[in-house]
Structure 1
Amino acid sequence: MKGFLEDANYSIGLLDEGATLADVIDNCIYEHTHTGKRAFYVGDLGKLVKKNIQWQNVMAPIKPFYPVKCNSTPGVLEILGTLGIGFACSSKSEMALVQDLGISPENIIYTNPCKQASQIKYAAKAGINIMTCDNDIELKKIARSHPNAKLLLHIATEDITADEEMNMKFGTTLKNCRHLMECAKEFGIQIVGVKFHVSNTCKELQTYIHAISDARCVFDMAVNHVIRPLLDIYFPKESGVNVIAEPGCYYVSSAFTLAVNIIAKKTECDKLLPSGVEQTRNDDEPVFTYYINDGVYGSFASKLSEKLNTIPEVHKKYKEDEPLFTSSLWGPSCDELDQIVENCLLPELSVGDWLIFDNMGSGTLGEQSTFNDYQRPLIYYMMSFSDWDEMQDAGITSDTMKNFFFVPSCIQLSSEDRFSTAA
């Protein structure tokens, strides 16, 4: 069945209308408290369905190609595959992963800007023709290994704001596009479109305006909610140009919640606090440092290159008037880079308590390090019956029910329950 792996080692809990995400988290924590306090995710796959409905309502002319590196867990890929979404792959392993879902080669794009020749040959053998290119050396390499390739010229965008450091950039200039077109003609390679990338941290509207305008310029050279009106201007329906997008965070970020356990604690009465904190505390107030069983060498890997876009919530109940203390959170590696949260206000916690991070579905569930005997968090998938009905409307038949099971509103998990996991 397209969209579902035959041997996928996971299942999805169907929640009745009385059960909530909080219920699932509570019961998973209850189970882990008795069997070993391992970090875990709860993935609400129904949110993927809702995001796709929203996309179709607002951005219907634009076909989404999901970047697999954003979150490559089997539940996510199979749900998106069933919804008819395309996939943007950056490696041979990612291409093979989505091929196993039964996705046709026409719905796969090879997007790595620096491709290995062997992986280009793999794409050619698999019939994956569409790939990106931003320089003549890469173009020649593609021509040698994949003569039937259809290229998207990757153009650079000006998406660096004043408070961001300059990162390694990919993409060619408008000026160089004509040269690349001439090279492509010389080597007999088709250029069929234009690609640009804007960081999900970029909030500058002008970046999108410039990028879409530049893309129009490239088409003019040789290729015969702010975004939608611009597309109507630069690429109207009668132009015959198909517009695609790579919405990664959009689909998966809010769908996953991470639960971590406090494994160690330190108490200090140090006056050297982050700026702005000294004025809000008494000198004799303690400062707490907590170590959790996940860190930057695992689920918080994106913290090494960007700001954390979620704040921790305390799982245990505490009184509204309970005092809050300056706290910091660190991963289990004892590495100086393994700081998750530099400064936050929390009630005093104990070893064994749990913290919850939401919006953890993007950039956290790919290949992860085994640093310091790190154990990958377990993944529990869930979906409401209303979302399941939406999935059926999208074309899923009862044959796929093998991946689903009913979870009643009064959930009490035990080791025999099939609220299955993907490690």
Structure 2
Amino acid sequence: MADFTFAETDIHILGEGMSACDYVDQRINAFSLTACKDAFLMTDLDDVLNKHLCWLSNLPRVVPFYAVKCNNSPPILKILESVGAGFDCGSQGEIEQVLSLGVTPSKIIYAHPCKQESHIKYAEAHGVQMMTFDSEEELFKISRCHESAKLVLRLAVDDSKALVKLSVKYGAKLASSRQLLQTAQNLDLEVIGVSFHVGSGCTDSNAYRQAISDARCVFNIAEELGFQMTLLDIGGGFPGKNDFKLSFSEIAADINKSLEEFFPLACGVSVIAEPGRYYVTTAVTLVANVIAKKVILEELPPLSGDQLTVASRTFRTDGKIANKTMMYYLNDGVYGSLGILLHDLAQSSVLPYPHRKAKPDEPVYPCVIWGPTCDSVDVLVKNALLPEQQVGDWLLIDNMGAYTHCTSSAFNGFKKTPIYYVMSRDTQLRIQLPSPHILNDDVILISTE
């Protein structure tokens, strides 16, 4: 097994009675003593572990293969590896990273239906056998590059109830499955199962039932052709936020019923899934600093209720809105951690809130919140209501764990926002991390040296 170090940053072990929010307060207070007020991301690793325990409770038959693309932070991957999760990788780079953590190749599915040949050869050379396909051309490539692959046919399923649709790009139609299986048979390739993805941010659990039913049809065709298929991959689409319109427990209950109907335990089929945002969305908070401010005094048309962000419901303490507009500029934006606002339909808005507590009678002001780059596209919130902020104040944004830091860039010369990781002593003991070095009574640092 490869030696593991947390190369990105350190992990802070929280002292007794200390929370992740307390850690944010502590770091902000430390910044107040210096000139440094850089933005940072705080990742609560306890939250990741708790999501896994929730998964085991709700979907005990389904083994999670975490979607690395969602958030590839090494501490998150290591925690999931330590509790027995597998990994959904979509490239040679992701396979390399996961293998470097000591993950065995059998715990990886190369879940990209359209792969580069050199990446397939890399998988073959490093013992990664499970991989998806959705076309005859992909079968020909795999036949040339990885004859011993264990293949999973990716089906296109109904994703009309999802916020992010995937079947338009990947997946084979159910009607074409027989021809694809016959082609695999002619090439002497082993097909072990079926996968699908109902789309990210699925809002109707019936989508899983229909997709599982479709998969059963493919299993039946495969049996007619002589294949011995043993794997069902139900993909992703599980909600990451706690306030999503469809809860994880509701989805899990319908999945369990559908599995019992179409793939009862006695049939011997193993079931995996590819959750991503489910595990990490709520684990991360962005802490950004107000680096500039502009007050707009000219008369502006009043904002209607549907134009205001949820922030208005948080800070309109006395129903009074002042007659000026604020423009705030933060040191993170859409070219950094907040790229989700441009490319992730499942999280197309964010809710910044002040770190400092508002006074009961403090007025709120319409405001626009910008990122730091020179591009006018770099806007985070166009219409919000907040108490007046000053340069040097901090704004926080929750639910920042999915498709954020991993998609950020250094555009305009702004560095990627650093990540700090926290966990409780109980979590540290559970996943058997290295012995810590005590820094003070509240925070313990695990050295990366």
**Same fold flag (TM > 0.5):** yes
Whether 2:195 is the aligned partner of 1:195: answer yes
Which residue, out of 269, 282, 304, partners 1:241? 269
Alpha-carbon displacement from aligned partner over 1:95-143 (angstroms, at most 9, x marks no partner):
0001011111100111123211111110111111111111111221111
Letter in 1 for 2:434: M
Instruction: Find the counterpart in structure 1 of residue 300 from structure 2.
Output: 271
Alpha-carbon displacement from aligned partner over 1:120-171 (angstroms, at most 9, x marks no partner):
1101111111111111112211111111111111111222249888985311
Alignment CA distance shift 1:137-1:258 (3 Å): same
Shift of 1:232: 1.0
Which residue, out of 343, 350, 365, partners 1:325? 365
Alpha-carbon displacement from aligned partner over 1:304-348 (angstroms, at most 9, x marks no partner):
122346411210122022111122222112323222122221111
Which residue, out of 373, 376, 396, partners 2:413? 373
Q: Distance in 2 between matches of 1:278 and 1:122?
A: 50
Q: Distance in 1 between matches of 2:321 and 2:275?
A: 48
**Aligned ranges for residues 311-322 of structure 1 at < 5 Å?**
311-322=351-362
Alignment CA distance shift 1:166-1:335 (3 Å): farther
Instruction: Find the counterpart in structure 2 of residue 293 from structure 1.
Output: 331
SS of the aligned residue for 1:204 comes to coil
Shift of 1:11: 2.8
Instruction: Find the counterpart in structure 1 of residue 400 from structure 2.
Output: 360
Count the aligned residue pairs. Answer: 408
Q: Distance in 1 between matches of 2:20 and 2:280?
A: 16
Alignment CA distance shift 1:329-1:167 (3 Å): farther
Which residue, out of 322, 340, 355, partners 1:302? 340
Determine which structure has greater relative contact order: mean sequence separation of CA pairs < 8 Å that are 6+ residues apart, divided by chain length.
1
Shift of 1:386: 3.0
SS of the aligned residue for 1:345 comes to strand
Give ranges in structure 1 of 5+ residues lacking alignment. 412-416
Q: How high is the sequence identity, in percent, across the aligned residues? A: 40
Q: Distance in 2 between matches of 1:198 and 1:345?
A: 36
Q: Distance in 1 between matches of 2:162 and 2:70?
A: 26
Alignment CA distance shift 1:62-1:164 (3 Å): closer
Letter in 2 for 1:387: T
Does the CA-based 8 Å contact 1:159-1:207 persist in structure 2? Answer: yes
Letter in 2 for 1:327: C
Root mean square deviation of aligned Cα:
2.7
Shift of 1:24: 0.6
Q: Distance in 2 between matches of 1:249 and 1:67?
A: 8
Whether 2:112 is the aligned partner of 1:72: answer no
Does the CA-based 8 Å contact 1:133-1:151 persist in structure 2? Answer: yes
Does the CA-based 8 Å contact 1:325-1:346 persist in structure 2? Answer: yes
What TM-score comes out, normalization by structure 1 length? 0.89
Does the CA-based 8 Å contact 1:15-1:383 persist in structure 2? Answer: yes
Instruction: Find the counterpart in structure 2 of residue 401 from structure 1.
Output: 434
Letter in 1 for 2:378: D
Q: Distance in 2 between matches of 1:419 and 1:270?
A: 54
Q: Distance in 1 between matches of 2:282 and 2:301?
A: 35
Does the CA-based 8 Å contact 1:105-1:129 persist in structure 2? Answer: yes
Alpha-carbon displacement from aligned partner over 1:238-283 (angstroms, at most 9, x marks no partner):
1111110011111111111110111222222352465547999999
Give ranges in structure 2 of 5+ residues lacking alignment. 229-252, 313-318
Instruction: Find the counterpart in structure 2 of residue 250 from structure 1.
Output: 278
SS of the aligned residue for 1:260 comes to strand
Instruction: Find the counterpart in structure 1 of residue 94 from structure 2.
Output: 94
SS of the aligned residue for 2:361 comes to coil
Q: Distance in 1 between matches of 2:162 and 2:48?
A: 33
Shift of 1:16: 2.2
Letter in 2 for 1:78: K
Shift of 1:15: 1.4
Alignment CA distance shift 1:106-1:278 (3 Å): closer
